[in-house]
């Protein structure tokens, strides 16, 4: 049905869709965790905030699992490289994500304010760390990762955890964090009432403004100061996956070349900026539209990063010629085709089931609701 080149592009698009799905669906969970001590001023208020995401966070995390599985199956070389180079960073994310179910489960086991504060702190960490680390990882991909392959395709990596924390990568981490704080705040404004909704709307406004400023700063940095990567030769888009079969050069403004070549791609950053401005303007007045706006902010920011990188998946700062692209890091054509059929069957089922769950769980969460069925809530 599709040739090898089309399948590679299709799976690049599907990977982007899954990353966006994770940011939109699990992103507000992370944002709620990060905002827990800011919006919740008492143990009861924090319990209300926790129960806004309590019934849905596990389902939302499916997007992360599916995204990781898609990278493993469709882009095995990129999967191996990412989990080798970002091993310690991914371990931090994993440990932080483990704190979330543990915090939910144990917070109400003992009726002691100090006990609850400990687990509230754990939930805060479980929101901040992944949001920050994912952005830092994207920043390092744009900078280039210090890896190389020998003639037998054996990987060598010369970086470390601290080398990931460059100024530009930290800026990208800040964009990711503020973006998800705005998304979490808009969700809380939608799912709570009274003073909690007011505080959530204020947090959404502040986080949206910071997202606009930081996203603009990152864009200026990429356009003026950050060297990018450009293919100078490639064997074939339909050829076997071999990262040693091309030439890559690093040039100034290379990450903006796609936008000059295809002006329609400017829609991506435009979506990010316009949506963030809408969230800033609508917060506190139109909760549903504000939530849609913060979701579209996530869409615009991630699309901007993906379109800037295309066709690169993992550029190498150590030896640019071995950078991984969508043309030389994919699985076989038969694997991609089989997975495309499976995805076409199961992804709509996941989307429809998720939509049904949110329809059933619609409406605000209040302390009275929790107290009426205390054992049925976190």
Q: Specify the pLDDT at position 235.
A: 63
Length of the chain: 378
Residue 286 and residue 306: Cα distance in Å, rounded? 30
Q: Specify the pLDDT at position 83.
A: 85
CA angle 14, 20, 23 (to 5 degrees): 145
Q: Specify the pLDDT at position 1.
A: 59
Query: Which residues are CB-neighbours of 197 under 8 A, at least 6 positions away?
Result: 188, 189, 287
Asked whether the whole model's pTM tops 0.85, one would answer yes
Q: Specify the pLDDT at position 234.
A: 67
Query: Which residues are CB-neighbours of 95 under 8 A, at least 6 positions away?
Result: none
Query: What total number of domains does the chain contain?
Result: 1
Q: Count CB atoms within 10 A of the CB of residue 209.
A: 16
Residue 61 and residue 47: Cα distance in Å, rounded? 21
Show the domain range for 79: 4-376
Closest CA to 44 of 98, 97, 120: 120
Residue 126 token pair: 């479980």
Query: Which residues are CB-neighbours of 358 under 8 A, at least 6 positions away?
Result: 56
Query: Which residues are CB-neighbours of 216 under 8 A, at least 6 positions away?
Result: 273
Closest CA to 177 of 30, 294, 312: 30
In the chain, what is the straight-line distance between the N-terminal and C-terminal CA atoms, in Å?
Answer: 49
Give pLDDT tens digits along the chain (378 positions).
578 999 999 999 999 999 999 999 999 999 999 999 999 999 899 999 999 998 898 889 889 888 888 899 999 999 998 888 888 999 999 999 999 999 998 988 888 899 999 999 999 999 999 999 999 999 999 999 999 988 888 888 888 888 899 999 999 999 999 999 999 999 999 999 999 999 999 999 999 999 999 999 999 999 998 999 998 876 667 778 888 888 999 988 899 999 999 999 999 999 999 999 999 999 989 999 999 999 999 999 999 999 999 999 999 999 999 999 999 899 999 999 999 999 999 889 989 998 999 999 888 988 888 878 777 677
Q: Specify the pLDDT at position 214.
A: 97
Residue 230 pairs with which residues in a beta bridge?
Answer: 249
Q: Specify the pLDDT at position 236.
A: 66
CA angle 11, 307, 181 (to 5 degrees): 100
């Amino acid at each position: 049905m599709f040739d090898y080149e089309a399948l590679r592009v299709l799976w690049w698009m599907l990977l982007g869709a899954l990353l966006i799905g994770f940011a939109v669906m699990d992103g507000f969970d992370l944002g709620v965790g990060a905002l827990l001590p800011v919006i919740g001023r008492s143990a009861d208020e924090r319990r209300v905030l926790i129960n806004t995401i309590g019934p849905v966070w596990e389902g939302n995390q499916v997007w992360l699992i599916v995204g990781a599985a898609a990278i493993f199956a469709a882009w095995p070389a990129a999967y191996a490289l990412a989990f080798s180079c970002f091993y310690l960073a991914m371990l931090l994310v994993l440990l932080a994500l483990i704190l979330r179910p543990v915090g939910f489960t144990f917070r109400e086991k003992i009726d002691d304010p100090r006990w609850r504060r400990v687990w509230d702190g754990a939930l805060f960490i479980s929101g901040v760390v992944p949001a920050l680390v994912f952005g830092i990882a994207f920043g390092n991909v744009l900078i280039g990762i210090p890896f190389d392959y020998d003639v037998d395709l054996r990987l060598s990596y010369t970086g470390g955890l601290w080398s990931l924390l460059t100024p530009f990568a930290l800026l990208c981490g800040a964009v990711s964090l503020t973006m998800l704080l705005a998304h979490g705040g808009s969700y809380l404004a939608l799912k709570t009432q009274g003073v909690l909704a007011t505080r959530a709307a204020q947090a959404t406004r502040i986080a949206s403004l910071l997202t606009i400023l930081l996203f603009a700063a990152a864009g200026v940095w990429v356009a003026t100061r950050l060297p990018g990567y450009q293919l100078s030769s490639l064997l074939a888009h339909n050829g076997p996956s071999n990262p040693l079969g091309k030439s890559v050069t690093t040039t100034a403004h290379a990450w903006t070349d796609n936008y000059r070549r295809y002006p329609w791609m400017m829609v991506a950053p435009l979506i990010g900026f316009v949506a963030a401005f809408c969230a800033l303007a609508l917060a506190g007045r139109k909760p549903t539209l504000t939530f849609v706006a913060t979701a579209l902010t996530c869409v615009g920011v991630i699309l901007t990063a993906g379109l800037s990188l295309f066709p690169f998946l993992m550029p190498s700062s150590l030896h640019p010629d071995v950078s991984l692209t969508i043309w030389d890091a994919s699985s076989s054509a038969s694997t991609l085709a089989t997975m495309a059929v499976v995805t076409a069957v199961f992804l709509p089922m996941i989307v429809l089931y998720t939509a049904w769950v949110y329809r059933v769980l619609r409406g605000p969460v209040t302390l009275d609701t929790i107290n009426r069925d205390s054992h049925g809530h976190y």
